[in-house]
C-alpha cells in the first residue's frame, strides 16, 4: 500500500516536532566520475543512524491515537528495530525487538541502548518475523511491521518532499530497496508532487526477491538471502508491495556485495560519508551503471550502522 499526499503532509507535520531535515550535499568525486550532477541525501544523520525513525515514529504516533498499545514490537535485521525502540521511548511505550540470530552487533547494541528488550530467532528476517507474529497474538501488543504497516510509508515519503525542496530540478532518485516501505513512500510522494522524476530501486544480488517480482509482475520468493547488506536481506515479498513498486518504480538495479563494499570505500575516502552496505547500495548502482541515469541525480545514503568487520573489509582489505 502506498500513502496518500494527505498522509504524507500529516507525517511532515508530526515528524518536524522530533526529527531534523537531513542534509542534501553535493558529491564532487561521484559527479566527476559519472559526468552527472550527483547529490547525497544523508539519512544516516537521523537518530539511530538511519532513515527508519521517520516511519516508526509516524506509525506509532498514529496507532496510539487509534488503540491502546501496551507494548510495541518489531521484527528487524537492525535499523527498523532501533527506530521502533527510539519511537517507543520517545512516546512512552515499552518495546520488544525480534532479530535473526547473530545480528549486526552495532545494530543490536543500539537497540538495547534505547531500552528495548531484544530476542533472537531464526536464521534470517523470516524467522524473526514468525516469532514476532506469534508474540503479537497477546493482548495489547502492537506489531509494527515495516513491510505491511499501512501508515508507516508516509514517514519515509517525507524524504522525497525534502529532496524536491532542496533540489527542485532533481530528475532521478536512487533508492535502496529492502522491504520496499522506503521506495513506496518516496514513490508516492514523487508521483503526487513531481511525476517526471525517475525512481530507481536498488537491491542486492544475493537478495533479489523484490527485483525479480518487479520484473515478472508476480511474487517471486527466494530460498535464502545471502548478502553483506543486512538492510536489504528480504526473500518473501508481499503481493501488495509488488503491485505498488511496479506502478511507482521506473527501474530496478542489482548490485553485488563487492560493488557495495567498493561504494562504502569511495563514500568514506572521497566524499567523507560513512555508510553501511545498504546505505551505499544506491552509490554502488550509479557507479556500476554503463549509461547516464539523468542530469541531476540524488543517491540516498540510508544508514551508517556498519559493523567494524565489514568496514575493515571495505576500507583496509580493498585498498
The answer on 126 and 181 residing in a single domain is no
Model pLDDT, residue 264: 98
Residue 192 and residue 65 share a domain: no
Residue 100's alpha-carbon distances to 42, 54, 305, in angstroms, are: 27, 23, 17
pLDDT of 13 reads 97
How many angstroms separate the CA atoms of 299 and 177, rounded?
A: 13
Last residue of a domain, one of 112, 143, 174: 143
- The total of structural domains in the chain comes to 2
Q: Are 176 and 282 members of one domain?
A: yes
Q: Model-level pTM?
A: 0.95
- How far, in Å, CA of 128 to CA of 133, rounded? 9
Q: Quick one: 166 and 78 in the same domain?
A: no
Q: Supply angle C-alpha 312, 313, 316, rounded to 5.
A: 60
pLDDT of residue 224: 80
Do both 128 and 266 map to the same domain?
A: no
pLDDT of residue 292: 73
* In a shared domain, residues 130 and 181: no
127 occurs within a structural domain: yes
Claim to verify: residue 45 and residue 84 sit in the same structural domain: no
25: in domain: yes
Q: Are 148 and 181 in contact (CB under 8 A)?
A: no
Domain assignment present for 148: no
Tell me: do 231 and 170 sit in the same domain: yes
Asked whether residue 76 falls in the same domain as residue 138, the answer is yes
Domain stop point among 117, 143, 169: 143
CATH for 73: 3.40.50.1100
Same structural domain, 135 and 170: no
**Please, where are the H alpha helices in the chain?**
5-15, 28-34, 53-66, 79-91, 105-113, 125-135, 154-166, 181-193, 209-216, 239-248, 257-270, 281-288, 308-315
Domain range enclosing 60: 53-143
How far apart are alpha carbons 235 and 170 in whole angstroms? Answer: 32
Cα distances (Å, whole numbers) of residue 121 to 16, 55, 77, 224: 35, 24, 11, 16
Would you state the pLDDT for residue 12? 98
Question: Within a domain: residue 189?
Answer: yes
Q: Which helix (H) or strand (E) holds 220?
A: none
Q: Are residues 309 and 165 in the same domain?
A: yes
Q: Are 40 and 81 in a shared domain?
A: no
Residue after which a domain boundary falls, among 92, 123, 143: 143
272 located within any domain: yes
Tens place of pLDDT per residue across the chain (319 aa): 789 999 999 999 999 999 999 999 999 999 999 999 999 999 999 999 999 999 999 999 999 999 999 999 999 989 999 999 999 999 999 999 999 999 999 999 999 999 999 999 999 888 999 999 999 999 999 999 999 999 999 999 999 999 999 999 999 999 999 999 999 999 999 999 999 999 999 999 999 999 999 999 999 999 888 999 999 988 899 999 999 999 999 999 999 999 999 999 999 999 999 999 999 999 999 999 987 778 999 999 999 999 999 999 999 886 6
Query: Residues 144, 128: contact at Cβ < 8 Å?
Result: no
Amino acid at each position: 500500500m502506498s500513502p496518500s499526499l494527505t498522509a504524507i503532509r500529516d507525517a511532515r507535520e508530526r515528524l518536524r516536532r522530533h526529527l531534523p531535515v537531513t542534509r542534501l550535499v553535493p558529491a564532487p568525486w561521484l559527479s566527476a566520475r559519472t559526468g552527472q550532477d550527483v547529490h547525497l541525501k544523508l539519512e544516516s544523520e537521523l537518530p539511530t543512524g538511519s532513515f527508519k525513525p521517520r516511519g516508526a515514529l509516524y506509525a506509532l504516533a498514529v496507532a496510539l491515537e487509534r488503540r491502546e498499545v501496551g507494548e510495541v514490537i518489531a521484527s528487524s535485521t537492525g535499523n527498523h528495530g532501533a527506530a521502533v525502540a527510539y519511537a517507543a521511548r520517545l512516546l512512552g511505550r515499552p518495546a520488544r525487538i525480534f532479530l535473526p540470530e547473530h545480528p549486526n552487533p552495532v545494530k543490536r547494541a543500539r537497540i538495547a541502548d534505547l531500552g528495548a528488550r531484544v530476542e533472537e530467532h531464526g536464521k534470517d528476517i523470516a524467522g524473526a518475523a514468525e516469532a514476532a507474529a506469534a508474540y503479537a497474538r497477546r493482548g495489547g501488543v502492537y506489531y509494527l511491521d515495516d513491510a505491511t504497516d499501512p501508515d508507516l510509508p508516509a514517514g519515509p515519503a517525507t524524504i522525497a518532499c525534502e529532496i524536491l525542496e532542496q533540489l527542485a530540478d532533481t530528475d532521478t532518485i536512487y533508492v535502496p530497496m529492502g522491504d520496499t516501505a522506503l521506495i513506496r513512500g518516496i514513490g508516492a510522494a514523487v508521483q503526487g508532487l513531481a511525476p517526471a522524476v525517475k525512481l530507481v530501486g536498488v537491491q542486492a544480488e544475493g537478495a533479489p526477491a523484490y527485483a525479480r517480482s518487479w520484473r515478472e509482475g508476480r511474487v517471486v520468493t527466494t530460498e535464502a538471502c545471502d548478502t553483506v547488506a543486512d538492510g536489504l536481506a528480504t526473500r518473501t515479498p508481499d503481493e501488495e508491495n509488488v503491485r505498488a513498486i511496479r506502478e511507482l518504480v521506473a527501474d530496478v538495479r542489482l548490485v553485488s556485495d563487492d560493488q557495495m563494499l567498493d561504494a562504502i570505500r569511495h563514500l568514506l575516502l572521497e566524499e567523507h560519508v560513512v555508510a553501511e552496505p545498504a546505505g551505499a547500495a544506491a552509490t554502488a548502482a550509479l557507479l556500476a551503471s554503463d549509461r547516464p541515469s539523468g542530469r541531476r541525480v540524488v543517491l540516498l545514503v540510508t544508514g551508517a550502522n556498519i559493523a567494524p568487520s565489514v568496514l575493515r573489509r571495505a576500507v583496509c582489505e580493498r585498498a
